[in-house]
Amino acid sequence: MSQSPLEINNISVAYQKKPVLRDITFSIPEGKLIGIVGPNGAGKSTLIKAILGLIPRLSGEVKIYGKPYKDQLKKIGYVPQRESVDWDFPTNALDVVTMGRYGHLGWFKRPGKKEKEIAMESLRKVGMQDYANRQISQLSGGQQQRIFLARALAQDATLYFMDEPFVGVDAATEKAIITLLDELKKQGKTVLVVHHDLATVKEYFDWVMLLNETLRAIGPAEEVFTADMLQETYGGRLAVLDKQKESSFVLA
């Protein structure tokens, strides 16, 4: 019997006095690539942060493979938004990726040869092995994003959360991320991705979550990612251009 990798019960979050997320409840099946979609300020990043316990929840419960989050830390990989860190930090690419192992090392163990090897292997998987010793401020935005992905790979998790990995990256990186997502899926891992570009949602993800303060819908992309549902989620701010049979969406 397989446990759902992620079960969310009644999560609500508020910043100051304004509620950002209301009564979010869902569970997801294993081995899916899930796109989290919704307008700006819908609480997409907030949802991830609340699940990971990075911001306080007003209420609600998170179960990872049937257990509380704190017992399952090693099964979780997190890719924060690229702008959330200072890329002028004095360190190189390999070192950042090695940080993905810190959670496995416990309080006192230092990263050693084994950790460096795992980190190097992760860099190879995102095509960044030649940049291992590069100072991180000298990397392009796309390369920095790939370093973050490599770090998540080094965590060797089974459930991944990625916060807008496709924002501001070049075509090569976009391709590298997709290949990687498919690779993770083949290994039976589950990945939740906050995603902005509606045009690519159906192509990249099996499942879609529509979010705007409340959970509007979650399920297989072909069922959930429809013009009507999107219109509802985006509150009518969406112009749907349905030429050439394939839908593309533009924010009005």
Partner 1 sequence: MSVNELWVILTGIFVAASCGILGCFLILRKMAMVGDAISHSVLPGIVIAFLISGSRDSLVMTLGAAVFGLVTVFLIQLFKNSGVQTDASIGVVFTALFAVGIVLVSVYTRQIDLDLDCVLYGEIAFVPFDRITLFGMDAGPKAIWGTGITFFITLLVVSLFYKQFKITSFDPAMAASVGIPVALIHYMLMGLVSLTTVSSFESVGAILVLGMLVVPAATAYLLTERLSVMIVYSVAVGIVSTILGYYAAVWLDASIAGCIVTVAGIIFGLTFIFSPSHGMISKWWRKRKILQEDHAKQAQLETA
Task: Name the residue among 151, 157, 138, 54 with its Cα closest to residue 111.
Answer: 151
Question: What residues are paired with 28 via a beta bridge?
Answer: 6
Position 53 contacts partner 1 (CB under 8 A): yes
Position 113 contacts partner 1 (CB under 8 A): no
Position 40 contacts partner 1 (CB under 8 A): no
CA distance 67 to 63: 5
Task: Name the residue among 70, 21, 25, 24 with its Cα closest to residue 46.
Answer: 21
Encoded tokens for 211: 């979010």
Position 118 contacts partner 1 (CB under 8 A): no
Task: Name the residue among 68, 52, 57, 25 with its Cα closest to residue 209.
Answer: 25
CB of 102 to partner 1, least distance (A): 6
Binding part of the chain for partner 1, among 100-108, 195-203, 216-224, 242-250 by CB under 8 A, reads: 100-108
Encoded tokens for 194: 């906050």
Identified binder of partner 1 from the candidate list 46, 144, 145, 155, rule CB under 8 A? 155
Identified binder of partner 1 from the candidate list 32, 151, 189, 216, rule CB under 8 A? 151
Identified binder of partner 1 from the candidate list 18, 110, 114, 243, rule CB under 8 A? 110
Position 54 contacts partner 1 (CB under 8 A): yes
